[in-house]
Chains A and B, each alone.
Chain A
Amino acid sequence: MSDETSVQIQVRVNGRMESGRAEPRMLLSDFLRHALGVTGVHVGCEHGVCGACTILLNGAMARSCLMFAVQADGAEITTIEGVASGKTLHPVQEAFRENHGLQCGFCTPGMVLTAIDLLRRYPNPDESRVREELSGNLCRCTGYEGIVAAVLDAAKKINLAKLPSKS
């Protein structure tokens, strides 16, 4: 990277302001991983098919391998590292753990973020909805069985938690 052509970029990642320099051609996925050390962003194909690099960009799902870092200047980004609340896993993460929704863990960050986004839009998805919404993310290990079960389970638990308590 040469100083003459690189650009200063500021992003808020998981609630913290971060800055770094990137050449205009640097992918956002590379910037997050290698300039900022946010290695939970995984790179599986670099052509937008596998979904492992999925992030939430200003609240919307995005593939960080299909964007340049300069395009994200000033954006608010959530990665897998920002999903849990302290030591407490997000209900979607917890459901993945309980339902064996992961094996090698490489697709997992993208799957979890996609599932969170899905459950925001469809709080009560049925199985076919879950499968369709996850179909932009590849998993090679699980046969998707545990993942689909995890998302359905997470929906159930999130909805239960929303019910007013009896006391």
Chain B
Amino acid sequence: MFRPDEIQNMPAPVETQLKSQKTDADKVSHVGAGAGLRSFPQMVGRLEDTRLLSGRGRYIDDIPVGPQTLHAAILRSPHAHAWIRGIDLAPALAIDGVVAAYAGKDLAELLDPFPNIVRAAPAYRAMAIDKVRYVGEPVAVVLARDRYLAEDGIGQISVDYEAVKAVVDSEAACKPGAPLLHDDFGSNLVWERSYRYGDPERAFAEADQVVRVDVSFPKYNSTPLETYGIVANYTPENDGYEIQGNFQGPFSLLPVMARALRVSPSRLRIILPQDVGGSFGIKAMMYPYMAMMAACARMAGRPVKWIEDRSEHLLASASGTDRKSTLEAAITKDGRILGIRMKLLENVGAYLRAPEPSCVMRSLTTFSGPYLIENSQIDAACVMTNKLPTGLNRGYGGQQYMFSLERLVDRVAKVTGLDRIDVRRRNFLKSDQFPYRTTAGSYYDSGDYEGCLARALSIVKEQGWEAEKARLQALGKLVGIGLATVVHSAASNIGYVTLALDPEDRTRPDYYEKSGTGDFAQVAFDPSGRIRVQIGTAGAGQGHATTVAQIAALELGVALGEVDVVDHLDTAITPWAITTGTYASRFSIVVAGAVQRAAERLGGNIRRIAGHILGVEPGELELTDGMARVKGGSNKSISFRQIAGAVQWNRASFPDSVDVQLQVSETYGAPNLHSPDSENRVNAAVTYGIMVDLAMVEIDRRTFVPKVLKYIAVHDVGRPINPQIIRGQIAGGIVQGIAGALYEHIDYDDNGQALSASFMDYLCPTAMEAPQMTIEHHGEASPFSELGTKGCGENSAMSAPAVIASAVDDALGEFGIEIRELPITPTSIWAGIAKDRSPA
């Protein structure tokens, strides 16, 4: 059960490994591979906490702006699909305090469509010109002395719309005669490509049986509590733009914005505030608004501020895709999966915009999940409909494919009569197979899948889940237990995006290959010998400053309190890379790796300087307790304060041969990441951690309201840096995944009218809906990452929808219902049961 003290008790790394060795003795050499690693220093709470608890956070809307700054409000389409026959901005401009108003064609004088990797895709602009294609699409913008007046302004604009028929269903949009969103493009199907790994034909020919599921994954937005916010300015002196905004990256979107704004990327300065109120992928997709406000500022000749409101956010920010998939497994009688065929239809909303169609790529590169499945045929397509355009949403494409794959595996269990757990065990990759190259090219670093599953099941036993289920069932309740076993790929290879291209295109002489992921960090001694670390990646609540301080403190032998961290970004002054950003669970691998390398290099300089002062070889020195000390019990030492002082105040005492640089930058580029090959094989990520999740769900017999009672997550996070922060990431991910399974839905009626434009209709889980959780780490240091870390950020946000579906299946076993579609709502359960009971 839930115990508050459990929260503090996520085991520290070394203890975890020892514990694993004891409980799983035959895996000692494997599980204990990282046992020699030192433990990171820990603290109660985080360096960020006191600021945030005291109301001293500095979020985008807290930054003071001058009296010249204009406040923007955006007029949005009330229609799902309509021609714009005319816009009259004059009534808005007549309001005292309204300074300017622009329609899409006005902004087009300064702002081009955003480029996309699919070059043929219809133009995607920040503001509609001739036609609107989803409810909430920007149509005009008003700039005024304050936001209230700007809102008055948009209320006065009249737009002459000619509504046309809309289409929201992805399959309907593919049919001949469906309403066309982009008339010139001639089709709603904007991208499709087939991928083949191994020998799927042979696998299906040799199969004893073929098992099929048709599943549907919903559209939702793991919405941050703080909405988008932007303060933009044009700087005529360099024909550049400065945009402050709570943008999460990836900064590969910076050149996308720069291109649309017709400036070189170096003329687009992006400044992030100190604090960002959550992001979850969604704040990657604010780039069209950043460009829109930049263009507004230039046209108006004054800074422009825009804070998105909640309704705007739910209508017109971004979401994950809703996806329809058909999966077939070629299986043997004993439940081995020989191959998979998948057809994926991604609904990308009204436009295919960067970085789509990357939503598909996790389904390709990790199609086999944690299983030994070497053959697949994957046909993927993206279709445009009259819905909000899509993009990153925590897990980006992961939840969609994990849901479909795990539904398939549960179906295999059902068809073969095997237990759901047993069928997974039979297909798992084994510990001695790592590192393992999948046929899709992914290079799995390490894993103890069986051990992780065993640990999760032992928790189920310890907590008496089966007995609890039986007790509740005896009371007449519908109760089920479900599970999912999945792989969390982390720190993505930017090259995976190019899987969208024809392999032929990747061989053309004018094609530039894309691969890798990297980042920068600077570690410095201040004049008093304190450590200062600057990273180029701003978080949104993940505790980056604390984690970075732990890494630097361990490497340089100082207390955590001796490290200051600058963890917000200004592209003009912070080191950053095109892959910079907080996405794809990359921080603990890539940014942490850069910090480690920079700290090591600074440590080397400190030893050389101290060695010169003390008259010893640098190699004789160790860094500990804020001092450089001669190893072996000598009391010959010098404090960091003295070292910094000597360099700062007595530079002449050092010959040129001693590198006195006390501010070092280092880069970390993750290994094993290459551009896709001619067979579309690519290693899409740096690390791959197994996640075993279980849930117990109760469904009320009268109301059919589902509730998640308990949740277990046992994940391989590699070498944990800060167990408490990791635990918090997973707990949050669990509830976001449950939200997608049961509550949150960006829904439309058949005419494309939005049905979830406020928190009254878009149901975010509260503390009442959050289950009791047990979260553990089981694994070892990754052999592929600098620090042995694996990613942990997307976690159960990807797996929980599959787990909940599995649990609901179990709860509704007496009705023979198998979940094929999310969200699972009282209505959908009722409909399923009614169908089951109605005469055929």
Assembled-state Cα–Cα distance A107/B759 (Å): 15
Assembled-state Cα–Cα distance A146/B44 (Å): 13
B57 at the interface (CB under 8 A from A): yes
A52 at the interface (CB under 8 A from B): yes
B276 and A104 contacting across the interface, CB-CB below 8 Å: yes
Assembled-state Cα–Cα distance A139/B736 (Å): 10
Assembled-state Cα–Cα distance A102/B225 (Å): 13
- Residues of the B chain whose Cβ atoms lie less than 8 Å from the Cβ of A127: 2
B467 at the interface (CB under 8 A from A): no
Contact residues, B85-121 vs A (CB, 8 A): 96-97
Assembled-state Cα–Cα distance A25/B151 (Å): 12
B541 and A103 contacting across the interface, CB-CB below 8 Å: yes
Assembled-state Cα–Cα distance A154/B59 (Å): 27
B821 at the interface (CB under 8 A from A): no
- Residues of the B chain whose Cβ atoms lie less than 8 Å from the Cβ of A145: 7, 728, 731, 770, 773
- Residues of the A chain whose Cβ atoms lie less than 8 Å from the Cβ of B49: 96-97, 102
B278 and A80 contacting across the interface, CB-CB below 8 Å: no
A40 and B56 contacting across the interface, CB-CB below 8 Å: yes
From B45, B278, B736, B770, contact of A104 by CB (8 A): B278
Known: A84-B54, A98-B45, A99-B4. A148 touches B725 (CB 8 A): no
- Residues of the B chain whose Cβ atoms lie less than 8 Å from the Cβ of A25: 148
B760 and A49 contacting across the interface, CB-CB below 8 Å: yes
B52 at the interface (CB under 8 A from A): yes
The stretch from B286-294, B423-431, B515-523, B761-769 touching chain A is: B761-769
Contact residues, A110-154 vs B (CB, 8 A): 112, 127, 130-132, 134-149, 152-153
Assembled-state Cα–Cα distance A47/B148 (Å): 16
Assembled-state Cα–Cα distance A50/B766 (Å): 10
Assembled-state Cα–Cα distance A149/B772 (Å): 11
- Residues of the B chain whose Cβ atoms lie less than 8 Å from the Cβ of A60: none
Assembled-state Cα–Cα distance A1/B6 (Å): 52
Known: A39-B55, A40-B54, A42-B277. A1 touches B759 (CB 8 A): no
Q: In the assembled complex, how far is the CB of residue B67 from the closest CB belonging to chain A, in whole angstroms?
A: 12
From A104, A136, A146, contact of B7 by CB (8 A): A146
- Residues of the B chain whose Cβ atoms lie less than 8 Å from the Cβ of A141: 278, 541, 728, 732
A17 at the interface (CB under 8 A from B): no
Assembled-state Cα–Cα distance A21/B444 (Å): 62
Known: A43-B61, A81-B55. A143 touches B734 (CB 8 A): yes
Contact residues, B710-725 vs A (CB, 8 A): 724-725
- Residues of the B chain whose Cβ atoms lie less than 8 Å from the Cβ of A107: 225
A36 at the interface (CB under 8 A from B): no
B54 and A140 contacting across the interface, CB-CB below 8 Å: no
B698 at the interface (CB under 8 A from A): no
- Residues of the A chain whose Cβ atoms lie less than 8 Å from the Cβ of B540: 104
Can you name the residue of chain B whose Cβ is closest to the Cβ of A79?
B55
Task: Among B7, B45, B54, B758, find the residue whose CB has the most chain A CB atoms closer than 10 A.
Answer: B54
B575 at the interface (CB under 8 A from A): no
Interface 1/0 per residue, B38-74 and A, CB below 8 Å: 0000001110111111111111011000000000000
From A47, A81, A138, A149, contact of B766 by CB (8 A): A138
Interface 1/0 per residue, A16-46 and B, CB below 8 Å: 0000000101100000010000111111111
From A89, A96, A104, contact of B224 by CB (8 A): A104
From A93, A103, A137, A149, contact of B543 by CB (8 A): A103
Assembled-state Cα–Cα distance A49/B692 (Å): 34
- Residues of the B chain whose Cβ atoms lie less than 8 Å from the Cβ of A142: 728, 731-732
A98 and B44 contacting across the interface, CB-CB below 8 Å: yes
B59 and A106 contacting across the interface, CB-CB below 8 Å: yes
Assembled-state Cα–Cα distance A21/B731 (Å): 44
B309 at the interface (CB under 8 A from A): yes
Assembled-state Cα–Cα distance A80/B49 (Å): 13
B146 at the interface (CB under 8 A from A): yes
A74 at the interface (CB under 8 A from B): no
- Residues of the B chain whose Cβ atoms lie less than 8 Å from the Cβ of A26: 148
B280 at the interface (CB under 8 A from A): yes
Assembled-state Cα–Cα distance A148/B766 (Å): 11
A146 and B728 contacting across the interface, CB-CB below 8 Å: yes
From B54, B146, B728, contact of A80 by CB (8 A): B54
B406 at the interface (CB under 8 A from A): no
Assembled-state Cα–Cα distance A109/B55 (Å): 7
B131 at the interface (CB under 8 A from A): no
- Residues of the B chain whose Cβ atoms lie less than 8 Å from the Cβ of A79: 55
B223 at the interface (CB under 8 A from A): yes
Can you name the residue of chain A whose Cβ is closest to the Cβ of B775?
A145
Assembled-state Cα–Cα distance A146/B768 (Å): 14
A47 and B758 contacting across the interface, CB-CB below 8 Å: yes
29 contacts between A and B (CB under 8 A): A1-B148, A33-B62, A40-B54, A46-B310, A49-B758, A84-B54, A97-B50, A100-B45, A100-B46, A100-B728, A103-B541, A104-B52, A104-B224, A104-B279, A104-B541, A105-B53, A105-B541, A107-B225, A131-B770, A136-B766, A137-B767, A142-B728, A143-B732, A143-B736, A143-B773, A144-B731, A145-B728, A145-B731, A146-B728
Give the top 10 A-B pairs by smallest Cβ distance, nearest first. A40-B55, A104-B541, A105-B52, A106-B277, A103-B541, A143-B731, A49-B759, A80-B55, A97-B45, A143-B735
Q: A134-B766, A137-B766 given; name 6 further pairs at CB < 8 Å.
A: A104-B226, A105-B277, A106-B541, A112-B53, A135-B766, A138-B766
